[in-house]
Amino acid sequence: MIRFEPRTRASLGLVVGARLAALGAAFLLAAIPLAVAGAPVGRAFLLILQGAGGTLFALTETLTRATPLIFTGLAAAVAFRARLFNIGAEGQLYAGALAAVAAGSGAIDAPAGILVPAVLGAAALAGAALMLVPTLLKARLGVDEVVTTLLLNFVVLLFIQMMLEGPFKDPMGGGWPQSEPVLDAAILPPLVERMRLHAGLLIGVAACLVAHVVVARTVFGLQVRAVGENANAAAYAGIPILRTMLLVGALSGALAGLAGASEVAGLKGYLTADLSRGFGYAGIVVAMVAGLQPLAVIPAAILVAGVFVGADTMSRTMGVSNYIADLIVALSLLCVLVGGLFVRFRVRFA
Amino acid sequence: MSPSPLVLRIDAVTKRFGALVANDAISLDLRRGEILALLGENGAGKTTLMNILFGHYVADEGTIEVADGDGGLRPLPPGSPGAALAAGVGMVHQHFALAESLTVLENVVLGTRTAWSPSLRLSEARAKLARLMEESGLSVDPGRRVGALTVGERQRVEILKVLYRGARILVLDEPTAVLTPGEAEGLFAVLRRLVSAGLSIVFISHKLGEVTAIADRVAVLRGGRKVADQSVAGASRAELAALMVGREVAPSRRMPRAPGAPLLVLEGVSVPGPGARPGLDAVSFSVREGEIVGVAGVSGNGQGALAALVAGTGPRPRGTATIDGRPLGATPRAVMRAGVGRIPEDRHHEGVVGSLDVAENLVLETLDSPEVHRLGFLRRRVIEERARAAIQAYDIRCPGPEAPIRLLSGGNIQKVILARVLDRDPRLVLANQPTRGLDVGAAGAVHRRLLEARERGTGVLLISEDLDELLSVCDRIGVMVRGRLTAPEPVEGLTLERLGLLMAGSGEERAA
């Protein structure tokens, strides 16, 4: 018989080891569909590895892909900490991107030193504003935020499409539903010459560092942890639940909004309705793989991005559908959740 | 009269968890028709021993023998709950294992038929269950969903489940922890009936009053060892308490002290109750400086509404409630600012945040104080120093200030809450069921702290269902019945009988 006994404490080695073992298990499981698709499994994995980090180009591509995932992953991690299940990072990302375009494509004419912060600020505000309504509904009326934030994603995407066909449509865009490009002064500068990697990565890493300090070292962070773990005890102790929840919701939305600004101002230069390749949803995986730890969001995002970028390369070379990337990411989430069980419990065979 | 035959023999059972010896060569005998109380503080090894008996754990050393149908002792295969059930050992756990969406009958039958038997044969089962209820005096409507039952009724279902499987040895783990005094009396009557029908019972408890009331024999465990095994007749409570705790337990002494000025004053306060439960109905009383006012009563008679009012978590009341002459606020922060320290009824639910460490839980109510933070950043060093001081002063047993509080025992969690409340030098302390679920040692520590606060001139409002507790520490006691509070009477003229009468609602002449 198998029995689970709760562990009183888990060493860091165990936590990290369980994560790595979970990822290994995910790849092993992904070998099955690869083999079924007729690809030589070993070579496929090698191609994924090379495609994710084998060359400078591959590496910068992985980091470029990781940039929005750092923002959305952190958005999920911060909110989930307070038991606020924000599934709406995808919508908040687009809201942020729209605000970035609105602020950056000529409405404000200023040097980069002013325009870049203005664009980022507008995106953060838009993301935060979008998250405030579900948070308020949850805190005041108990409306399930999973449902509201998830459904808002579709509302926002339709709204974006409407804007791109209407007031935001680029008259010089040859009829394509895309916005006007942002001004040169609003562009986030590239980090490596002739590569797509841009300064958004640095902003994302800085956000993780700040979030880590806030959660671990400040009164607000302690309030967030208390509200998330036991809202009754927090309320009894006089912690303002509503204010804490609203702040967390706003922060989470703002971070997801920054992901949109970073994609627009750092990578694409303009807004289209296919700006995000599910970054908002992948951010949830990143947050879970990171164990909701802000600092761990960085490696987790790079890892998930690597799987996506590597699988793209592999699929182009071998003719296997690149859906295999989604499969690997989904499998790693499931394996990490199972792995968490082994961290929290000791398994005994009796 | 020759002693009745043995039904259970536990011989030198030892169980280690790492370095901890939970059971150290414990031997126990149980005879037919006997109630054996297993007495000990939390962590003394009572539950571990019974889990070994029931096959949840495997003992490192020692054997267990159970009498079979003919009365001969047979070794019990270790580590097999199925074997324990087959041998006639049934256990009723502290936390029930019932399927809430099924009926009483279905719960009782659950697990007695194999998964692929074509029918549950419910009518047969119904007849057997009816006979069992008749014999034992346990009655529950077999057709009701378990989710709709009260805690006392659920416990009856658990016992019926065990009897249905033909148990001859019944193990009850802290069965009265969840019952009102009235329900506990009913349970005791049932247990007496069961033993007179030939059943044998092991009754796990840390409450001395129960043990002397119900058991024939008592075995005392302390620190994993059996330190006494004797007949209950002739054993005094003080003697048992000393055996259990390992030292003399001095009863908490209340020094005579003239109370000071009125502190908390309620005049005609009414609060609507939640749903059909009573709130407060024109409640008037006062707590003065340096006195402990007790509120007795069966739970669910408005104590919750009174506690919420004073803790600042309830709705705004009608009537006037003042502290120090100023209106009592309606938020936790407002009442804390007015000098109220609050010990909540449910320490896990409202008292602490389990994943936060001891130090963080200690400052949870004072996060906006400049001693706790500088510019919003926690002053971790100061906070930990304070935690270390509290751990020392309140004898909180824990690995250290950085240990998550969920790892602590209930008694130690309560000490953390006491430290948090009393270190702020409150004018008034609200203590709602402060010793519920605590062992003698921890409960004594709580009482001592409350009495010390009283010495310093603090007023204490103590809400409790434990009449012994109220009579030993309070200056005055009022009784709550259906949202009304009798005028608190000086404890000197009060007896258990008088309080019992008031609780039953016969004290309707509400003197001013």
Asked if ipTM goes beyond 0.95, one says: no
pLDDT digits (tens, 9 = 90+) for A324-334: 888 888 888 88
Interchain proximity B378–A223, CB inside 8 Å = no
* Cβ atoms within 10 Å of A170's Cβ, excluding its own: 18
With beta carbons less than 8 A apart as the criterion, state whether B28 and B8 touch.
yes
pTM of the model: 0.77
Give the closest-approach CA distance of A84 to chain B in angstroms.
Answer: 17
Token reading at B176? 């009265």
Give the closest-approach CA distance of B309 to chain A in angstroms.
Answer: 12
Token reading at A286? 């990143």
| B19–chain A Cβ distance below 8 A for any pair | no
Interchain proximity A222–B376, CB inside 8 Å = no
| B355–chain A Cβ distance below 8 A for any pair | yes
Token reading at B142? 């077999």
| B116–chain A Cβ distance below 8 A for any pair | no
* Cβ atoms within 10 Å of B236's Cβ, excluding its own: 10
| B365–chain A Cβ distance below 8 A for any pair | yes
| A239–chain B Cβ distance below 8 A for any pair | yes
Q: Which of A8, A219, A233 sits opposite B353 (nearest CB)?
A: A233
Contacts of B69 (CB under 8 A, 6+ apart): none
| B380–chain A Cβ distance below 8 A for any pair | yes
Give the closest-approach CA distance of A239 to chain B in angstroms.
Answer: 8
| B377–chain A Cβ distance below 8 A for any pair | yes
| Across A4-15, average pLDDT | 73
User: What count of residues does chain A have?
Assistant: 350
A297 band by pLDDT with thresholds 50, 70 and 90: very high
Q: Which of A217, A234, A237 sits opposite B378 (nearest CB)?
A: A217
| A293–chain B Cβ distance below 8 A for any pair | no
Residues in B touching A222 (Cβ below 8 Å)? 356, 360, 367, 378
| A83–chain B Cβ distance below 8 A for any pair | no
pLDDT for position A347: 74
Which stretches in chain B have pLDDT values below 50? 507-512
pLDDT digits (tens, 9 = 90+) for A202-253: 999 999 999 999 999 999 999 999 999 999 999 999 999 999 999 999 999 9
| A233–chain B Cβ distance below 8 A for any pair | yes
How many CB pairs lie under 8 A apart between chains A and B? 69
With beta carbons less than 8 A apart as the criterion, state whether B59 and B225 touch.
no
Q: Which of B367, B369, B407, B421 best tests the A interface by mutation, with the highest count of A CBs <10 A?
A: B367
Token reading at A218? 């400040």
pLDDT for position B134: 87
pLDDT for position B393: 92
Interchain proximity A8–B407, CB inside 8 Å = yes
Give the closest-approach CA distance of B441 to chain A in angstroms.
Answer: 25
Contacts of A142 (CB under 8 A, 6+ apart): none
Give the closest-approach CA distance of A3 to chain B in angstroms.
Answer: 10
Contacts of B274 (CB under 8 A, 6+ apart): B304, B305
Give the closest-approach CA distance of A223 to chain B in angstroms.
Answer: 8
Residues in A touching B373 (Cβ below 8 Å)? 218-219
Residues in B touching A244 (Cβ below 8 Å)? none
Residues in A touching B352 (Cβ below 8 Å)? 230, 233
Query: Long-range contacts for B48-52 (Cβ within 8 Å, ≥24 apart)?
Result: B48/B15, B48/B22, B48/B23, B49/B10, B49/B13, B49/B15, B49/B23, B49/B221, B50/B91, B50/B171, B50/B173, B50/B202, B50/B204, B52/B13, B52/B15, B52/B23, B52/B78
| B81–chain A Cβ distance below 8 A for any pair | no
| A210–chain B Cβ distance below 8 A for any pair | no
* Cβ atoms within 10 Å of B73's Cβ, excluding its own: 15
* Rounded Cα–Cα distance for residues B512 and B500 (Å): 20
Q: Which of B79, B364, B378 sits opposite A218 (nearest CB)?
A: B378
Residues in B touching A221 (Cβ below 8 Å)? 378
* Rounded Cα–Cα distance for residues A20 and A16 (Å): 6
Closest CA to B36 of B64, B63, B6, B74: B6
Give the closest-approach CA distance of A116 to chain B in angstroms.
Answer: 28
Among A4-18, A125-139, B361-375, the range scoring the smallest mean pLDDT is A4-18
pLDDT for position B174: 84
Interchain proximity A219–B354, CB inside 8 Å = no
pLDDT for position B226: 92
* Rounded Cα–Cα distance for residues A138 and B94 (Å): 35
* Rounded Cα–Cα distance for residues B280 and B269 (Å): 7
Residues in B touching A230 (Cβ below 8 Å)? 349, 352-354
Token pair 């509080």 is found at B405
pLDDT digits (tens, 9 = 90+) for A253-296: 999 999 999 999 999 999 999 999 899 999 999 999 898 999 99
| A229–chain B Cβ distance below 8 A for any pair | yes
Q: Which residue of A has its CA nearest to B405?
A: A8
Interchain proximity A236–B376, CB inside 8 Å = no
Q: Which residue of A has its CA nearest to B17?
A: A5
Contacts of A26 (CB under 8 A, 6+ apart): A328, A331, A332, A334, A335
Interchain proximity B332–A237, CB inside 8 Å = yes
Among A102-111, A338-347, B261-270, the range scoring the smallest mean pLDDT is A338-347
Element (H, E) at B199: none
| B437–chain A Cβ distance below 8 A for any pair | no
Tell me how far CA of residue A159 lies from CA of A120, A172, A252, B155, in angstroms. 21, 21, 21, 57
| B497–chain A Cβ distance below 8 A for any pair | no
| Across A142-165, average pLDDT | 96
pLDDT for position B181: 67
What's the whole-number average pLDDT of chain A? 91
Give the closest-approach CA distance of A281 to chain B in angstroms.
Answer: 27
Task: Provide, for chain B, the percentages of residues in helix, strand and coil under a 3-state DSSP scheme, each rounded to the nearest 5.
Answer: 35, 25, 40
